[in-house]
Structure 1
Amino acid sequence: MISKILHRSTVAAVIAVALGLGQPVLAQTIETAAKQAVIIDFASGAVLMEKNADELMVPSSMSKLMTVYMVFDKLKSGAWKPGDRLPVSETAWKKHYKSGGSLMFLPINSTASVDELLKGVVIQSGNDACSVLAEAHSGSEEAFAEEETRKSRQLGLTKSVFKNASGWPEPGHVMTARDLSVLARHLIGDFPDYYPLFSQMEFTFNGIKQGNRNPLLYNTPGADGLKTGHTEEAGYGLTASIKRGARRIIIVLNGMSSMKERGEEAQRLAEWAFREWETYPLFKAGEVVVPDAEVWLGEAETVALAAKGDLEVSMQRRNRLDMKVSTVFTGPLPAPIKAGAELGKIVVTAPGMAPVEMPLVAVGNVEKLGFGGRVSAAIRRIIWGAKK
């Protein structure tokens, strides 16, 4: 990609920082019994492993994560308070009490607080709690599901379609493993004050104590969320988050044959991801990467270029020495230049991973020379050529 840019440019400035030499190494892979799977690094968003990650699947109760997102959003906006009490309608009660699905055991025509209902969804996986929240949010569960689908597109979930709030089997209620990983990343990043709910181990409501169904909370260091799922059609699934030190990974698995296999496979893949992969911070947002990019016909001869955002790269540890960081921009850069304008990019390459890019932006303004100055600069360039 860099060479293509070079051929296309009249003059290109390329600064390459080679952090090691060696032959390209193919990325290691790991097999999984899951029918659909993806592992991502939370900070960089890099995909560490995937299998049928974009295949439409029945998400079962893992789709409750979208319901939780919608409620967290209400709380963050101030529209709802944790202590607000919501009614348990006859419609919500009847829908689930003969279904055989997981329940919070809400009494008909009672009320429960938003905080209690969220715990009922996250910890107890209560389908009844989902329906109560959906009705209070949108008037009906059908309307709520439509809002979920619209909101999911805004969050970057490209294929998910919701037909209800709980994940109860219904034609057309589908997600992908990748969509679930994106949703989990949003839940953690968008709601840091509410996210600790996912690591609560048990909750008692209506005299009935139920434990959190996430198996990793009990045996995997650093596990702090998110949600399991199971139906006959989908098999056993899990969307999990594990944080160790500064690193966090998100794992999505579906289509496992048993609870035992789900827990063991998730734990095995988590250990592999932490053992074989690392995330390397390269630049902070605003950090100067190119201190003196040449400017054409500007009141200043150079302008500094900085990283537009934080740049972190995830790769297998064995490929760290073959990582290369380059900056690419066409120079000299024509004035006028406005601070924050995107004028190039940082490109990071390494064996076994797709190139990672981050825009380069101007640190300050550079005004264009007046007519006389432009004529003088043009003459100097004709006589002396490009600045060395």
Structure 2
Amino acid sequence: MQNQDLPRGMNDKPGLIPRQVMPENLETPINNILSWITPTEMYYARNHLPYPTIQMQSWALGLGGEVEKPFSFTYEDLKKMPSVSKFVTTECSGNKRAFMEPPVPGEQWRIGAVGNVKWTGVPLTYLLDQAKLKGSAVELIFTGSDSGIRPDMDTPVNYERSLPLDRTLLAECILGLKMNGEPIPHKHGFPLRLIVPGWYGMAHVKWVTRITASSIPFKGPFQAIDYVYITNEGDYHDAVPVTEMKVNSIITWPSKGEKVHLGQHTVRGLAWAGKGTINKVEVSLDNGMTWNSAQLTSSEHEQYTWTLWEYLWDITAPGHYSLLARAFDSYGNVQPKAAPWNAKGYGNNSIHQIKLMVPQILH
């Protein structure tokens, strides 16, 4: 079992937690998030390259490649188009990387590279229907305005990712203009961010400036080198792309170092999945020997969003306790005791564990 506790004192630091300075990567202090919606200022930030400078006077979204009618849309154009709002939980695929055994390189995210917010924007298919994709198109490439030098390359690159031409998938995607009802903050992708419900965060390209319909599979470095499951670093022979989020859950209270005494306590947590919804969460107080059903407490129960859960813990005896939580989704998936190890530390959805000592009360 992997030790997945948070460090002592986390609850005393409500600000975002730095994981890397340049480019900036910030983790949500998830133990302090008690609401179903993550406040915008508490949403985690994942960057591969420096923040771009956006000149709105000249900014436009280009849509071209294998299309019948190439287009260019200004920000004002996009704001006038039909829009939809979706609540979407997004998790960095490196979330829980700090708990991989043996350790792997990369940003050492613990449990807070995840959040649930309301995105409002233009349905991707609305733009595609206007551009009319050619039969030769096989993928859509999304190019962000952020650019820089990768450690493994000598020339600057933009952050780019592609999606397959899967109509069901694309029908869920939106080009986000607002986050929690307000224009997306610059750090989270203003003026335009791709939202791919159910997929890990690397697919949600920020600062989108161009969409290209391609007739050949995309092989950019942020897709062919990064964000693939591989067993040995540098060996891409059997690489599998990182795509949909796995069923996952965390315990948000108590955390490591919490002072817990005899009596009744409410264990709290969060659970989420990719395509499916969470239909059950179980809690163990004895390191997995027995399991008890938790109560799903979210009044909202929507696809692509996380679920809040609680469990009433009546502590009748002092001692050492090992709390575990595991989630089940509507497709029958359940969190494993330990997720399959991979050289880049992606997709760690292993069962969350909190170890506590309940002291004897002296009279």
Task: Report TM bin, short chain.
Answer: under 0.3
Query: Which protein is richer in strand relative to its size?
Result: 2
Structure index of larger Rg = 1
TM-score normalised by length of structure 2: 0.26
By percentage of residues, which structure has more helix?
1
TM-score (norm 1): 0.25
